[in-house]
Structure 1
Amino acid sequence: MDILINPNFAYVILLTGVVLAFFSASTPGTGVGEVVSLFCLIFAGYAAYTLSIHWWALVLLALSVPPFVLAVRTPSKWSVYLGLNILFLVAGSVFLFAPEGSLISVSPILALFMSVLVSVVMWAVLRQFITVVTSRPTHDLDALVGAVGIAFSDVFKEGSVQVEGELWSARSEVNVPSGSSVRVVGREGFMLIVEKNQ
Protein backbone atom coordinates (compact mmCIF):
# COMPACT_ATOMS: atom_id res chain seq x y z
CA MET A 1 0.00 0.00 0.00
CA ASP A 2 3.05 2.28 0.07
CA ILE A 3 2.43 3.37 -3.51
CA LEU A 4 -0.98 4.76 -2.49
CA ILE A 5 0.69 7.23 -0.15
CA ASN A 6 3.28 8.33 -2.69
CA PRO A 7 2.43 12.00 -3.41
CA ASN A 8 3.14 11.63 -7.14
CA PHE A 9 0.87 8.59 -7.50
CA ALA A 10 -1.81 10.19 -5.33
CA TYR A 11 -1.63 13.32 -7.49
CA VAL A 12 -2.13 11.34 -10.72
CA ILE A 13 -5.08 9.29 -9.45
CA LEU A 14 -6.67 12.38 -7.91
CA LEU A 15 -6.54 14.26 -11.22
CA THR A 16 -7.76 11.19 -13.11
CA GLY A 17 -10.67 10.71 -10.73
CA VAL A 18 -11.74 14.35 -10.76
CA VAL A 19 -11.53 14.69 -14.56
CA LEU A 20 -13.49 11.46 -15.09
CA ALA A 21 -16.07 12.66 -12.56
CA PHE A 22 -16.50 15.92 -14.48
CA PHE A 23 -16.95 14.13 -17.80
CA SER A 24 -19.25 11.47 -16.34
CA ALA A 25 -21.48 14.15 -14.83
CA SER A 26 -21.75 16.11 -18.07
CA THR A 27 -22.09 13.17 -20.46
CA PRO A 28 -23.49 10.09 -18.70
CA GLY A 29 -22.58 6.89 -20.51
CA THR A 30 -22.00 3.22 -19.74
CA GLY A 31 -21.05 3.78 -16.11
CA VAL A 32 -17.45 2.64 -16.59
CA GLY A 33 -16.12 6.19 -16.23
CA GLU A 34 -18.15 6.68 -13.06
CA VAL A 35 -16.81 3.45 -11.51
CA VAL A 36 -13.17 4.20 -12.40
CA SER A 37 -13.60 7.75 -11.10
CA LEU A 38 -15.02 6.46 -7.81
CA PHE A 39 -12.10 4.07 -7.25
CA CYS A 40 -9.56 6.80 -8.10
CA LEU A 41 -11.19 9.21 -5.67
CA ILE A 42 -11.32 6.55 -2.94
CA PHE A 43 -7.57 5.91 -3.34
CA ALA A 44 -6.90 9.66 -3.43
CA GLY A 45 -9.01 10.08 -0.30
CA TYR A 46 -6.98 7.40 1.46
CA ALA A 47 -3.78 9.20 0.45
CA ALA A 48 -5.20 12.52 1.68
CA TYR A 49 -6.13 10.88 5.00
CA THR A 50 -2.64 9.37 5.38
CA LEU A 51 -0.49 12.19 4.04
CA SER A 52 -0.26 15.77 5.20
CA ILE A 53 -2.39 18.04 3.00
CA HIS A 54 -2.82 21.75 2.51
CA TRP A 55 -6.45 22.57 3.28
CA TRP A 56 -6.38 25.71 1.16
CA ALA A 57 -5.50 23.51 -1.83
CA LEU A 58 -8.55 21.36 -1.06
CA VAL A 59 -10.62 24.56 -1.17
CA LEU A 60 -9.17 25.31 -4.62
CA LEU A 61 -10.23 21.85 -5.77
CA ALA A 62 -13.75 22.48 -4.50
CA LEU A 63 -13.78 25.84 -6.30
CA SER A 64 -13.08 24.05 -9.60
CA VAL A 65 -16.58 22.53 -9.61
CA PRO A 66 -18.81 25.64 -10.11
CA PRO A 67 -16.87 26.90 -13.17
CA PHE A 68 -17.20 23.48 -14.82
CA VAL A 69 -20.95 23.44 -14.22
CA LEU A 70 -21.20 26.96 -15.65
CA ALA A 71 -19.09 25.95 -18.67
CA VAL A 72 -21.50 23.12 -19.47
CA ARG A 73 -24.64 25.20 -18.86
CA THR A 74 -23.44 28.47 -20.44
CA PRO A 75 -22.20 27.60 -23.95
CA SER A 76 -21.63 31.27 -24.86
CA LYS A 77 -18.92 31.66 -22.16
CA TRP A 78 -17.73 28.08 -21.82
CA SER A 79 -14.07 28.89 -22.54
CA VAL A 80 -13.86 31.45 -19.71
CA TYR A 81 -15.45 29.13 -17.17
CA LEU A 82 -13.43 26.13 -18.30
CA GLY A 83 -10.24 28.18 -17.99
CA LEU A 84 -11.13 28.95 -14.36
CA ASN A 85 -12.00 25.29 -13.78
CA ILE A 86 -8.64 24.11 -15.11
CA LEU A 87 -6.75 26.77 -13.12
CA PHE A 88 -8.37 25.78 -9.81
CA LEU A 89 -8.12 22.05 -10.57
CA VAL A 90 -4.43 22.12 -11.51
CA ALA A 91 -3.38 24.45 -8.67
CA GLY A 92 -5.40 22.56 -6.07
CA SER A 93 -4.13 19.14 -7.09
CA VAL A 94 -0.46 20.16 -7.39
CA PHE A 95 -0.34 21.72 -3.93
CA LEU A 96 -2.73 19.33 -2.14
CA PHE A 97 -0.27 16.66 -1.00
CA ALA A 98 2.75 17.98 0.87
CA PRO A 99 5.01 16.94 3.74
CA GLU A 100 5.15 19.08 6.85
CA GLY A 101 6.87 22.40 6.27
CA SER A 102 6.89 22.05 2.49
CA LEU A 103 4.75 23.75 -0.13
CA ILE A 104 4.88 21.07 -2.81
CA SER A 105 5.90 17.41 -2.86
CA VAL A 106 4.84 16.50 -6.40
CA SER A 107 7.55 16.21 -9.05
CA PRO A 108 7.61 19.50 -11.02
CA ILE A 109 8.03 17.60 -14.32
CA LEU A 110 5.06 15.35 -13.53
CA ALA A 111 3.00 18.36 -12.44
CA LEU A 112 3.79 20.18 -15.70
CA PHE A 113 3.02 17.12 -17.83
CA MET A 114 -0.28 16.36 -16.09
CA SER A 115 -1.33 20.01 -16.10
CA VAL A 116 -0.81 20.28 -19.86
CA LEU A 117 -2.47 16.90 -20.49
CA VAL A 118 -5.53 17.69 -18.37
CA SER A 119 -5.88 21.14 -19.90
CA VAL A 120 -5.71 19.84 -23.48
CA VAL A 121 -8.06 16.90 -22.87
CA MET A 122 -10.67 18.92 -20.99
CA TRP A 123 -10.53 21.75 -23.51
CA ALA A 124 -10.89 19.40 -26.51
CA VAL A 125 -13.65 17.24 -25.04
CA LEU A 126 -15.73 20.10 -23.67
CA ARG A 127 -15.32 22.07 -26.89
CA GLN A 128 -16.70 19.08 -28.82
CA PHE A 129 -19.52 18.72 -26.29
CA ILE A 130 -20.49 22.40 -26.62
CA THR A 131 -20.36 22.16 -30.43
CA VAL A 132 -22.76 19.21 -30.38
CA VAL A 133 -25.11 20.88 -27.90
CA THR A 134 -25.27 24.20 -29.72
CA SER A 135 -25.30 22.95 -33.31
CA ARG A 136 -28.61 22.90 -35.09
CA PRO A 137 -29.92 19.63 -36.54
CA THR A 138 -28.63 19.13 -40.07
CA HIS A 139 -31.52 16.84 -41.02
CA ASP A 140 -34.61 18.14 -42.78
CA LEU A 141 -36.87 15.68 -41.02
CA ASP A 142 -39.86 16.52 -43.20
CA ALA A 143 -37.82 15.31 -46.19
CA LEU A 144 -37.98 11.81 -44.69
CA VAL A 145 -41.73 11.63 -45.30
CA GLY A 146 -42.20 9.26 -48.22
CA ALA A 147 -38.81 7.62 -47.74
CA VAL A 148 -38.56 3.84 -47.66
CA GLY A 149 -36.61 1.95 -45.02
CA ILE A 150 -36.40 -1.28 -43.06
CA ALA A 151 -37.97 -2.14 -39.70
CA PHE A 152 -35.02 -2.68 -37.38
CA SER A 153 -37.34 -4.18 -34.76
CA ASP A 154 -41.03 -5.02 -34.57
CA VAL A 155 -42.87 -1.72 -34.88
CA PHE A 156 -46.32 -1.04 -33.46
CA LYS A 157 -46.77 1.58 -30.78
CA GLU A 158 -43.01 1.95 -30.78
CA GLY A 159 -39.95 0.45 -32.40
CA SER A 160 -36.93 1.27 -34.54
CA VAL A 161 -36.53 1.68 -38.28
CA GLN A 162 -33.53 2.29 -40.50
CA VAL A 163 -34.17 5.07 -43.01
CA GLU A 164 -31.48 6.57 -45.23
CA GLY A 165 -28.78 4.72 -43.33
CA GLU A 166 -29.77 5.96 -39.85
CA LEU A 167 -31.79 4.45 -37.01
CA TRP A 168 -34.96 6.28 -35.95
CA SER A 169 -37.59 5.73 -33.30
CA ALA A 170 -40.87 4.93 -35.01
CA ARG A 171 -44.46 3.89 -34.44
CA SER A 172 -47.15 2.40 -36.62
CA GLU A 173 -50.90 1.95 -36.43
CA VAL A 174 -50.50 -1.73 -37.30
CA ASN A 175 -47.87 -4.26 -36.35
CA VAL A 176 -44.87 -4.24 -38.70
CA PRO A 177 -42.55 -7.24 -38.26
CA SER A 178 -38.81 -6.74 -37.97
CA GLY A 179 -37.09 -6.80 -41.36
CA SER A 180 -40.15 -5.56 -43.26
CA SER A 181 -39.94 -2.74 -45.77
CA VAL A 182 -41.58 0.40 -44.37
CA ARG A 183 -42.58 3.78 -45.75
CA VAL A 184 -42.48 6.98 -43.69
CA VAL A 185 -45.91 8.64 -43.74
CA GLY A 186 -45.33 11.34 -41.14
CA ARG A 187 -43.45 12.37 -38.04
CA GLU A 188 -44.03 13.62 -34.52
CA GLY A 189 -40.92 15.47 -33.42
CA PHE A 190 -38.11 12.96 -33.83
CA MET A 191 -40.53 10.01 -33.95
CA LEU A 192 -41.29 8.71 -37.45
CA ILE A 193 -44.73 7.38 -38.29
CA VAL A 194 -44.44 4.44 -40.66
CA GLU A 195 -46.57 1.87 -42.44
CA LYS A 196 -45.69 -1.41 -44.08
CA ASN A 197 -44.51 -0.76 -47.63
CA GLN A 198 -46.66 -2.66 -50.11
Structure 2
Amino acid sequence: MTVLFIKNMVCNRCNMVIRNELDKLNINVRSIKLGEVIIENQLSVEEKLNLSKILSNLGFELIDDKKSRIIEKIKTIIIDLVHHQDGETKTNLSNLLSKELNLDYNYLSNLFSEVEGTTIEKYFIAQKIEKVKELLVYDELSLSEIAHRLNYSSVAYLSNQFKKVTGLTPSHFKKIRNEKRKPLDEV
Protein backbone atom coordinates (compact mmCIF):
# COMPACT_ATOMS: atom_id res chain seq x y z
CA MET A 1 0.00 0.00 0.00
CA THR A 2 1.33 3.46 -0.99
CA VAL A 3 0.00 6.95 -0.33
CA LEU A 4 0.35 9.48 -3.13
CA PHE A 5 -0.06 13.16 -2.31
CA ILE A 6 -1.38 15.21 -5.22
CA LYS A 7 -1.51 18.99 -5.41
CA ASN A 8 -4.51 20.91 -6.84
CA MET A 9 -7.19 18.29 -6.16
CA VAL A 10 -10.01 20.60 -5.11
CA CYS A 11 -13.28 18.88 -5.98
CA ASN A 12 -14.98 15.56 -6.66
CA ARG A 13 -14.39 16.05 -10.38
CA CYS A 14 -10.65 16.10 -9.66
CA ASN A 15 -11.03 12.79 -7.83
CA MET A 16 -12.77 11.31 -10.89
CA VAL A 17 -10.07 12.58 -13.27
CA ILE A 18 -7.28 11.17 -11.10
CA ARG A 19 -9.05 7.82 -10.71
CA ASN A 20 -9.59 7.63 -14.46
CA GLU A 21 -5.89 8.28 -15.18
CA LEU A 22 -4.78 5.73 -12.58
CA ASP A 23 -7.19 3.17 -14.06
CA LYS A 24 -5.69 3.79 -17.53
CA LEU A 25 -2.25 3.02 -16.06
CA ASN A 26 -3.61 -0.14 -14.37
CA ILE A 27 -2.79 1.23 -10.93
CA ASN A 28 -5.14 -0.25 -8.33
CA VAL A 29 -6.71 2.49 -6.22
CA ARG A 30 -7.75 1.57 -2.70
CA SER A 31 -9.16 5.00 -1.83
CA ILE A 32 -9.14 8.53 -3.13
CA LYS A 33 -9.91 11.84 -1.45
CA LEU A 34 -8.90 15.44 -2.01
CA GLY A 35 -5.11 15.62 -2.17
CA GLU A 36 -4.50 11.98 -1.32
CA VAL A 37 -4.69 8.66 -3.15
CA ILE A 38 -3.98 5.28 -1.59
CA ILE A 39 -2.89 2.64 -4.09
CA GLU A 40 -2.34 -1.08 -3.62
CA ASN A 41 1.28 -1.36 -4.73
CA GLN A 42 4.52 0.57 -4.70
CA LEU A 43 5.30 2.46 -7.94
CA SER A 44 8.61 2.06 -9.71
CA VAL A 45 10.64 5.19 -10.39
CA GLU A 46 9.61 4.98 -14.06
CA GLU A 47 5.91 4.59 -13.20
CA LYS A 48 6.11 7.53 -10.81
CA LEU A 49 7.77 9.75 -13.45
CA ASN A 50 5.15 8.75 -16.03
CA LEU A 51 2.32 9.45 -13.58
CA SER A 52 3.90 12.77 -12.66
CA LYS A 53 3.98 13.84 -16.35
CA ILE A 54 0.36 12.81 -16.90
CA LEU A 55 -0.81 14.62 -13.78
CA SER A 56 1.18 17.72 -14.67
CA ASN A 57 -0.52 17.88 -18.09
CA LEU A 58 -3.87 17.87 -16.26
CA GLY A 59 -2.87 20.65 -13.83
CA PHE A 60 -2.01 18.38 -10.89
CA GLU A 61 1.32 17.69 -9.24
CA LEU A 62 2.73 14.77 -7.26
CA ILE A 63 4.13 16.02 -3.97
CA ASP A 64 7.18 14.33 -2.51
CA ASP A 65 8.53 16.48 0.29
CA LYS A 66 6.97 16.60 3.75
CA LYS A 67 6.52 20.39 3.95
CA SER A 68 4.68 20.52 0.62
CA ARG A 69 2.40 17.69 1.74
CA ILE A 70 1.54 19.57 4.92
CA ILE A 71 0.80 22.78 2.97
CA GLU A 72 -1.39 20.87 0.53
CA LYS A 73 -3.25 19.18 3.39
CA ILE A 74 -3.92 22.58 5.00
CA LYS A 75 -5.32 23.86 1.69
CA THR A 76 -7.40 20.73 1.19
CA ILE A 77 -8.91 20.96 4.68
CA ILE A 78 -9.78 24.64 4.16
CA ILE A 79 -11.26 24.04 0.69
CA ASP A 80 -13.32 21.15 2.02
CA LEU A 81 -14.46 23.22 5.00
CA VAL A 82 -15.50 26.23 2.91
CA HIS A 83 -16.78 24.63 -0.28
CA HIS A 84 -18.15 21.25 0.81
CA GLN A 85 -19.32 21.49 4.44
CA ASP A 86 -22.10 24.11 4.06
CA GLY A 87 -21.50 25.60 7.50
CA GLU A 88 -21.74 22.28 9.31
CA THR A 89 -18.39 22.70 11.06
CA LYS A 90 -18.47 25.38 13.72
CA THR A 91 -15.00 24.76 15.14
CA ASN A 92 -12.07 27.13 15.36
CA LEU A 93 -9.84 26.83 12.25
CA SER A 94 -6.59 26.61 14.22
CA ASN A 95 -8.00 23.81 16.40
CA LEU A 96 -9.34 21.96 13.37
CA LEU A 97 -6.01 22.11 11.50
CA SER A 98 -3.99 21.10 14.57
CA LYS A 99 -6.31 18.17 15.23
CA GLU A 100 -6.50 16.99 11.60
CA LEU A 101 -2.74 17.22 11.00
CA ASN A 102 -1.65 16.32 14.52
CA LEU A 103 0.76 19.27 14.56
CA ASP A 104 1.04 22.48 16.57
CA TYR A 105 -0.85 25.35 14.94
CA ASN A 106 2.07 27.78 15.36
CA TYR A 107 4.26 25.41 13.33
CA LEU A 108 1.56 25.06 10.66
CA SER A 109 1.01 28.81 10.52
CA ASN A 110 4.71 29.64 10.23
CA LEU A 111 5.30 26.94 7.61
CA PHE A 112 2.31 28.06 5.54
CA SER A 113 3.36 31.72 5.66
CA GLU A 114 6.96 30.85 4.78
CA VAL A 115 6.05 28.68 1.80
CA GLU A 116 2.92 30.44 0.47
CA GLY A 117 3.79 34.06 1.27
CA THR A 118 0.41 34.58 2.95
CA THR A 119 -1.20 33.53 6.20
CA ILE A 120 -3.55 30.62 6.73
CA GLU A 121 -6.20 33.14 7.79
CA LYS A 122 -5.87 35.17 4.57
CA TYR A 123 -6.05 31.97 2.51
CA PHE A 124 -9.16 30.93 4.45
CA ILE A 125 -10.77 34.35 3.89
CA ALA A 126 -9.92 34.21 0.16
CA GLN A 127 -11.64 30.82 -0.11
CA LYS A 128 -14.69 32.11 1.76
CA ILE A 129 -14.95 35.15 -0.52
CA GLU A 130 -14.77 32.89 -3.60
CA LYS A 131 -17.62 30.84 -2.13
CA VAL A 132 -19.61 34.02 -1.46
CA LYS A 133 -19.09 35.05 -5.11
CA GLU A 134 -20.31 31.65 -6.26
CA LEU A 135 -23.41 31.82 -4.07
CA LEU A 136 -24.14 35.39 -5.17
CA VAL A 137 -23.96 34.38 -8.83
CA TYR A 138 -26.30 31.42 -8.23
CA ASP A 139 -28.77 33.94 -6.75
CA GLU A 140 -30.56 31.28 -4.69
CA LEU A 141 -29.71 32.52 -1.19
CA SER A 142 -30.07 35.87 0.51
CA LEU A 143 -26.96 37.57 1.85
CA SER A 144 -28.16 36.67 5.34
CA GLU A 145 -28.40 32.98 4.39
CA ILE A 146 -24.93 33.12 2.80
CA ALA A 147 -23.50 34.71 5.96
CA HIS A 148 -25.08 31.98 8.07
CA ARG A 149 -23.90 29.18 5.77
CA LEU A 150 -20.30 30.44 5.87
CA ASN A 151 -20.35 31.05 9.63
CA TYR A 152 -20.07 34.83 9.52
CA SER A 153 -21.23 36.48 12.73
CA SER A 154 -23.29 39.00 10.75
CA VAL A 155 -24.16 40.19 7.26
CA ALA A 156 -22.27 43.41 8.00
CA TYR A 157 -19.09 41.47 8.80
CA LEU A 158 -19.42 39.44 5.59
CA SER A 159 -20.04 42.61 3.57
CA ASN A 160 -17.06 44.41 5.08
CA GLN A 161 -14.75 41.46 4.45
CA PHE A 162 -16.08 41.04 0.90
CA LYS A 163 -15.46 44.71 0.13
CA LYS A 164 -11.98 44.60 1.67
CA VAL A 165 -10.99 41.65 -0.56
CA THR A 166 -12.79 42.51 -3.81
CA GLY A 167 -13.19 46.28 -3.60
CA LEU A 168 -16.94 45.84 -4.18
CA THR A 169 -19.96 45.42 -1.98
CA PRO A 170 -21.76 42.08 -2.38
CA SER A 171 -24.77 43.83 -3.94
CA HIS A 172 -22.56 45.69 -6.44
CA PHE A 173 -20.78 42.44 -7.30
CA LYS A 174 -24.13 40.75 -7.81
CA LYS A 175 -25.16 43.52 -10.21
CA ILE A 176 -22.10 43.47 -12.40
CA ARG A 177 -21.28 39.73 -12.18
CA ASN A 178 -18.60 40.19 -14.80
CA GLU A 179 -15.75 39.62 -12.36
CA LYS A 180 -14.63 36.12 -13.14
CA ARG A 181 -14.29 33.69 -10.28
CA LYS A 182 -10.84 32.23 -9.81
CA PRO A 183 -10.27 28.49 -9.95
CA LEU A 184 -9.80 27.24 -6.38
CA ASP A 185 -6.18 26.28 -6.96
CA GLU A 186 -5.38 29.88 -7.95
CA VAL A 187 -6.89 31.54 -4.87
TM-score (norm 1): 0.27
TM-score (norm 2): 0.29
Larger Rg: 1
Higher strand share: 1
Higher relative contact order, structure no. (Cα contacts within 8 Å, ≥ 6 residues apart): 2
